[in-house]
């Protein structure tokens, strides 16, 4: 390390890798980008890291000064690359999802725990102030008994978006609207409402000529007895803000891209809208999503590394979300309700 800074390596300098590089440069913490792979070498200087080395993915993972490896590669590579980074003795930060299959996600959890390394999965929506406030109020019982929760991600991605990266067109590589675009919305809903114990689902490819689904609907049954609805799509132009609605025995609330648009809980103060610099909207442009959530999660990751604790969002959280999404796909394929294992 230089000046006791934390050495970070980014594997995959596409748009989301650039986002991480930009966030690292904004952190109020001694962190330096040591090495990165993919993209153009000059991007490293533009994002505030002129001293970083541009090299191959395996060199980033093996670099002796890299203590935390960040995976911003296509979703289908996340699981195997996380295992490689853990085997190299590194802590790992993974852009969603942790893996595109449950078995690999389970192995990442086992190996991280065996090797005493953390794996933090980017689930930045959980750390937004509105989400934190909702979680506190729900867990304290102040909002009543949960009855019904809905999240709708009616987005649009044109053919050029899919042409730029072939993996986005493949179901087995995590390119579907549920796994790729809707994951954060579903992850947030499940985190707020508690464990999901059973799902049903249907999928279709309705707006694009590709293998992956571009539209999915699902029903959820939570351990509390509450029910949930999920809809995700990239075939609904021009694209609308992602919404979430919570309904309980005491009232209801609705949110669009993390901002409250309706709050009907008598005597309970409404959460404050994040305003400028908040979540942003990926309705029609994935680059329009704000970086406030990534900044908050990176602050937590740095603090976890320095204090020796686990990060707020760890490998088991990522595994739970992969299990949920894969269960929805399984339900859609079989036409049956699929039960999920109890969280451990």
Q: 6-123+295-314 maps to which CATH number?
A: 3.40.50.720
Backbone φ and ψ of 32, nearest 5°: -135, 140
| Biggest CA-to-CA distance, the chain | 57
12 CB contacts (<8 Å, ≥6 apart)?
A: 37, 38, 57, 71, 72, 73, 74
pTM value is 0.95
Distance of alpha carbon 173 from alpha carbon 101, whole angstroms: 9
* Architecture of the domain whose range is 125-285+321-339: 2-Layer Sandwich (3.30)
Query: Are 79 and 53 contacting, i.e. CB atoms less than 8 angstroms apart?
Result: no
| C-alpha closest to that of 24 among 123, 93, 105 | 93
- pLDDT tens sequence for the chain (344 residues): 445 899 999 999 999 999 999 999 999 889 999 999 999 999 999 999 999 999 999 999 999 999 999 999 999 999 999 999 999 999 999 999 999 999 999 999 999 999 999 999 999 999 999 999 999 999 999 999 999 999 999 999 999 999 999 999 999 999 999 999 999 999 999 999 999 999 999 999 999 999 999 999 999 999 999 999 999 999 999 999 999 999 999 999 999 999 999 999 999 999 998 765 455 678 877 767 778 899 999 999 999 999 999 999 999 999 999 999 999 999 999 999 999 997 65
Q: How far apart are CA 263 and CA 302, in angstroms?
A: 34
> How do the domains of the chain map onto residue ranges?
6-123+295-314, 125-285+321-339
């Amino acid at each position: 390390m230089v000046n006791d800074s934390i050495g970070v390596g980014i594997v995959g300098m596409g748009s989301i890798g650039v986002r991480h590089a930009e966030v690292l440069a904004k952190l109020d913490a001694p962190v330096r980008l040591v090495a990165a792979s993919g993209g153009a070498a000059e991007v490293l200087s533009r994002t505030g890291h002129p001293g970083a080395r541009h090299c191959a993915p395996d060199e980033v993972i093996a670099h002796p000064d890299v203590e935390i490896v960040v995976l911003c590669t296509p979703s289908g590579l996340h699981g195997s690359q996380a295992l490689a980074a853990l085997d190299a003795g590194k802590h790992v930060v993974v852009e969603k999802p942790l893996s595109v299959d449950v078995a690999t996600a389970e192995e990442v959890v086992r190996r991280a725990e065996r090797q005493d390394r953390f794996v933090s999965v980017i689930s930045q929506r959980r750390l937004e102030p509105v989400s934190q406030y909702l979680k506190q109020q729900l867990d304290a019982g102040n909002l009543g008994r949960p009855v019904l929760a809905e999240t709708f991600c009616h987005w649009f991605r044109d053919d050029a978006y899919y042409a730029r990266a072939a993996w986005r067109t493949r179901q087995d590589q995590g390119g579907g609207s549920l796994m790729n675009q809707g994951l954060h919305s579903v992850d947030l809903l499940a985190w707020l409402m508690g464990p999901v114990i059973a799902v049903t689902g249907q999928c279709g490819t309705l707006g694009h000529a590709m293998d992956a689904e571009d539209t999915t609907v699902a029903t959820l049954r939570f351990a509390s007895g509450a029910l949930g609805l999920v809809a995700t799509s990239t075939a609904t132009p021009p694209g609308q803000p992602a919404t979430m609605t919570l309904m309980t025995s005491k009232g209801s609330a609705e949110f669009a891209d993390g901002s409250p648009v309706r709050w009907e809980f008598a005597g309970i103060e409404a959460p404050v809208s994040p305003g400028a610099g908040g979540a942003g909207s990926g309705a029609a442009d994935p680059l329009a999503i704000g970086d406030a959530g990534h900044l908050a999660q990176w602050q937590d990751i740095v603090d976890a590394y320095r204090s020796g604790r686990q990060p707020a969002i760890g490998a088991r959280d990522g595994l739970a979300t992969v299990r949920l999404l894969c269960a929805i796909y399984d339900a859609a394929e079989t036409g049956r309700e699929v039960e999920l294992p109890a969280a451990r």
